[in-house]
Amino acid sequence: MSAVDRLLDGPAADLARAVREREVTAVAVAEKALGRVRAAADRHGSYLWFAEDLALAQAAEVDRLVEHGENFPLAGVPLAVKDNIHVETLPSTAGSKILAGFVAAESATCVRRLVAAGAVVVGKTNCDEFGMGSSNESSAYRPVKNPWDPERVPGGSSGGSAAAVAARSAPLAIGTDTGGSVRQPASLCGLVGWKPTYGRVSRYGLIAFASSLDQAGAFARTVEDAALAFREMAGEDPRDSTSLRTPVPDVLGRMKKGVEGLRVGLLLEAEAEGGLAPDVRKSFEGTAELLRKAGATIVEVSVPRVPMAVPVYYLVATAEASSNLARFDGIRYGARRGDGDLASVYTGTRSAGFGPEVKRRILLGTFALSAGYQDAYYGRAERVRALLRRDFDAAFLKVDAILCPTSPETAFRFGAKTADPLQMYLADVFTVPASLAGLPALSVPSGLSSEGLPIGMQFIGPVDSEPVLFALARSVEEGAGVWTLKPPDAL
Amino acid sequence: MALSDYEPVIGLEVHCQLKTRTKSFCACPVVFGAPPNSAVCPVCLGYPGVLPVLNREMVTLAMRVALATGSEIQERSVFARKNYFYPDLPKGYQISQLDRPLAVGGHVPVRTSGGERPIRLSRIHLEEDAGKLMHEFPWDDVPTGASLVDLNRAGTPLIEIVSEPEIRSGDEAWDYLNRLRRIVRYVDASDGNMEEGSLRCDANVSVRRKGAVPLGTKVEVKNLNSINHVRKAIEHEVERQAGTLDRGGAVVQETRLWHPETGTTRPMRSKEEAMDYRYFPDPDLGTLEVDGEWKQGVAESMPELPDARVARLVLQYGLPLADADTICLSRPLADWFEAAALAHPSNPKGVANWLLSELLSRIGDADRQAGRVPLAPAALARLVARIDDGTISGKIGKELLPLLIDSGKDPDELIREKGLVQVTDEGEIRGVVEGVVGANPQQAAAFRAGKTQALGWFVGQVMKASGGKANPAIVNRLLKERLEQG
Ligand SMILES: [Zn+2]
């Protein structure tokens, strides 16, 4: 096994150090990584588009600047990017046929920031169409297999990014998290995955699903890598009006200080609502115990409106989606169908271009906003959302962070939930509350099930509490040790 | 029943394009008449992945209109998405405001038969414009029957100014629009040009029996491309609705288009009416906050408003109200007048008269609006001064005007060059009078026999003989003396 191969199997931080210290070149890393990307695409369907030319050009630039003494924090780190995030010169289809052939003219702000930190984009990853799904089975192209068990889903909607990192094709990937689309696949693939405080990472260059919920986040195998990605991606962007203007909190510094004295609340509603799988419950309890031993204070805390979060989410998110996806009309770009009159272009393009889950959500959202129903559905959902935020505010008077499982169960088999959309939506029960409240949250591997599948625990904190969340995650990472394990079907 | 048994109830929705340099939510320039799709970017084309960023200049100009109409600017207003499909609407929704507009209240006064009356405004809100569909084009490679989309206008900043239904006639609507147009132009917020589409108006028209309290069924009239068309369309629509009711029919709630060529309104396709816009707050833009400092800054930069200026012109220069009102048609025109009046401070009324009767008649509305008077203010001031000090007669002044306009010369120079200085020397004029009377003994005899009208004929002859330069008053007096002597 070559030095580059070993580096690709390890954390991004180590790989960047090796490139900075010129033990290996970024170009050599990129060449090797591109091979793994092709292999991962064949094996798990985790990639949709490859970035050979771009990756080699970016890597050469990193090498050139490293020679001039540039100190890139992510020097030469291969980066996989979810297909609903723009990367210049690469296709950007959000996993949908309606955007077939669409190529991004410029990179999303978060991509530009990572590339400026030395990262090298190696490919665009598969995902549920427009980020709508919890299993990656709604990709218009192909489902993604979980490297821990290729019979099972990787989670969604950023399943391709999760599978890509789990399989060791890239140490770092980014995705979007609207209702858990980074955290849930991170949990199902044994990775660290985070979503920031709403507004902390720019949405410019993300193909919108639900604008008041969408946030970019990252997947990594270690908490330190995940925190590095946060530090580089976060920050104000004048091109996103919802971007936060306040200073970015220092995650790496806080992480070293441990969890001593932190108050962690175990979510009371987790047990009642989730229908927790026994192994997940056991890991939840084990994680609490582990944190107690590390010096944290463990209490129970209630967020009473958590049970309402899934219905609220599926009204707010679909309402916004129905409007955000109206631009895909076949007039200016993307695949156009129909001929003759305007109505046939609209119905032809959208009927052929959108998959069933996207259509279902557009219909739901259109209904939730329609005259006579808007107040009862969208309006009421927004009111409950405000109350949910208040619940969290009250809870955070008592605790620094809330702990609950990321997903009620481990990775499920293909087809297990496709027949019943409601069952699929309930997979998001623990992830949507933080999205609705705009709070930062992350998932960290906490153990393996009896079937050898990864289990993830989620920390939710108040606005700008990322430093505390990463510190807690680091403590769990050390205690659980899952990150050292290689998935059976990895490359 | 007669038309006079009904009371029209009219509300106007005016869309006004703001004079910003760039579009509402992107950095594209606002252009008129540029090649199709040459002023566009991913944001105003509705590409995936882009986000709107509010142009603050748009808000500032809207605030000027709000301040000028006494409308109350809201500290917090909210952008909303108006969702509908149309090829000229790239995002599939228009960014507008609904529940929480930028400004509420305010009024625009109109002149009515019973004096001036304020028409209250319900709101002024911000929104972006859509693009344009082209159905005719100069290229022959476009299939027949196809339509093309030009998105240069997409994202252009607009305000919508909505009146309460307090307008009672086509004339009042006409005056309301003229006043409103004058306001938006005075505060430099808009070109206010209906023909070019920078001012657009839809009218909500209903009628009710005089004295009745409940409102009649409302009809929205669109495609009103000039202020005169608004008046005509309202008059027609009121008559149509009254006629329908008179015949025992019912007015249908609908949108109708004005057809100027026939002078009638006709229903628009019913598909358009059933639209449900599914408004909801735009999550990309958040709340628009206007703090005290911003508002203060705009308030301090406000120019004198038209009504205040009319009043001041009456007071300061002694102008009749109607004259002051005409002069205050536009800010540049009023500026022109004041420059001329200050250059000849002893007779501002004379300056105004010359401007109104001799100069404005020579130019069209666009030039009046722009203050493009074909003479420099100082030149008119000097011309009037020379009439006032007797150097030339008013008649000569009028003859001189086209020469002044064509040559651009100073009036004094032209008077000297043409030898037009008025003759007031009595000896010189008496000589001419002697000659004319001596050469026409029959007319002189007729005058003395009581035919006093002959005097006018003699004046004409003397003026003609003096080349028009003789002072008419002196000519009159000397002729009378000479003729009465016998
Ligand atoms: Zn633009």
Q: What CATH number corresponds to the domain at position B474?
A: 1.10.10.410
**Residue of chain A nearest B45, judged by CA positions:** A332
pLDDT of res. B113: 80
Note whether B49 and B91 are same-domain residues. Answer: yes
Give the sign of the dihedral formed by CA B118, CA B122, CA B127, CA B133: negative
B133 lies in the same domain as B191: yes
In this structure, the answer to whether residues B104 and B205 fall within a common structural domain is: yes
CA distance B202 to chain A (A): 23
pLDDT band at B120 (very low <50, low <70, confident <90, very high): very high
A491 close to B (CB below 8 A) = no
Burial letters B361-374, b for 16+ CB under 10 A, else e: eebeeebbbebebe
B284 CB neighbours in chain A (<8 A) are 208, 211, 241-242
Query: What's the CA gap between B259 and A9, in Å, rounded?
Result: 74
Task: State which residue of chain A sits closest to B83, comparing Cα positions.
Answer: A323
Among candidate residues B297, B315, B347, the one where a domain is terminated = B297
Q: How far is the CA of B190 from the centre of ligand 1 (A)?
A: 20
**What is the chain A residue with the closest CA to B89?**
A327
pLDDT in tens, A146-170: 999 999 999 999 999 999 999 999 9
In chain A, what percentage of residues exceed pLDDT 70?
A: 100
**A positions 61-100 inside 8 Å of B (CB):** 85-86, 92, 94, 99
Pairing of strands A78-82, A120-125: parallel
pLDDT in tens, A108-126: 999 999 999 999 999 999 9
Q: Worst-scoring range by mean pLDDT, A136-150, A358-372, B376-390? A: B376-390
With an 8 Å Cβ cutoff, are B278 and A242 in contact? no
* Residues B221 and B346 placed together within one structural domain of the fold: no
Residue A468: CB atoms within 10 Å: 23
Q: In chain A, what are the domain boundaries?
A: 3-255, 312-369
Asked if residue A447 has pLDDT above 70, the reply is yes
Q: Convert the pLDDT of each residue in B142-166 to its tens digit.
A: 888 888 999 999 999 999 999 999 9
Residues B240 and B218 in one domain: yes
Q: Are residues B274 and B379 in the same domain?
A: no
Is residue A208 within 8 angstroms of chain B, CB to CB?
yes
Q: With a cut of 80, say whether residue B270 has pLDDT above it.
A: no
Mean pLDDT of A452-467: 98
pLDDT one-digit tens code per residue, B21-56 = 999 999 999 998 899 999 999 999 999 999 999 999
DSSP calls for B203-261: EEEEEEETT--S----EEEEEE-SHHHHHHHHHHHHHHHHHHHHTT--PPPEEEEEETT
Verify whether the Cβ–Cβ distance B284 to A366 is below 8 Å: no
> Pairing between strand A172-177 and A78-82?
parallel
Confidence check: pLDDT of B1 > 70: no
Count of domains observed in chain B: 3
Q: Which of A438, A402, A476, A428 is nearest to A196 (CA)?
A: A438
Q: Report how far residue B144's alpha carbon sits from residue A245's, in angstroms, rounded to the nearest whole number.
A: 52
The partner residue sitting opposite A211, judged by closest CB among B83, B279, B284, is: B284
Residue-level pLDDT at B408: 85
Distance CA B372, CA B378 (A): 14
* ipTM reported for the complex, 2 dp: 0.96
Distance B156 CA to ligand 1 centre (A): 9
Q: Does A107 touch chain B (CB under 8 A)?
A: no
DSSP three-state, residue A353: helix
Q: Are residues B45 and B149 in the same domain?
A: yes
Q: Give this prediction's pTM.
A: 0.91
- Given a cut of 90, whether residue B425 has pLDDT beyond it is no
Domain that holds residue B189: 3-297
Name the phi and psi angles at A123, rounded to 5: 175, 170
Confidence of residue B197 (pLDDT cuts 50, 70, 90): confident
| 3-state DSSP assignment of residue B150 | strand
Q: Mind listing the pLDDT tens digit for each residue in A380-425? A: 999 999 999 999 999 999 999 999 999 999 999 999 998 888 888 8
pLDDT of B464:
87
Q: Which of B418, B449, B466 is the last residue of a domain?
A: B418
Q: Label residue B486 by pLDDT band (50, 70, 90).
A: low
Claim to verify: residue B188 and residue B329 sit in the same structural domain: no
The reply to whether CATH 3.90.1300.10 applies to domain A3-255 is yes
**Nearest CA-CA partner of B283 in A213, A376, A367:** A213
Give which of B17, B19, B25, B15 is closest to B155, Cα–Cα.
Answer: B25
User: Average pLDDT, whole number, for chain A?
Assistant: 96
Distance from CA of A215 to the nearest CA of B (A): 12
| Same structural domain, B53 and B201 | yes
Do B181 and B48 have their domain in common?
yes
Last residue of a domain, one of B271, B297, B323: B297
Q: Which residue numbers of A are catalytic? A: 82, 157, 181
Answer whether A369 sits within 8 Å of B83, measured CB to CB.
Answer: yes
Inter-chain CB proximity A242 and B149 less than 8 Å = no
List pLDDT tens digits, range B53-89.
999 999 999 999 999 999 999 999 999 999 999 999 9
The dihedral sign for the CA sequence A247, A253, A255, A259: negative
Same domain, B172 and B188: yes
Chain A residues 227-266 with CB within 8 Å of chain B? 238-242
Residue B272 has pLDDT above 60, yes or no: no
Both B342 and B293 in one domain: the answer is: no
Query: Residue B471: what pLDDT?
Result: 85
User: Residue B269: which pLDDT band, with cuts at 50, 70 and 90?
Assistant: low
Buried b / exposed e over B290-314, threshold 16 CB at 10 Å, is beeeebeebeeeeeebbbebbebbb
Question: In percent, how much of chain B has pLDDT > 90?
Answer: 70
* CB nearest to B49's CB, from A207, A325, A369: A207
Reported as a single tens digit per residue, the pLDDT across B322-362 is: 999 999 999 999 999 999 999 999 999 999 999 999 999 99
Among the partner residues B42, B93, B284, nearest to A326 by beta-carbon distance:
B93
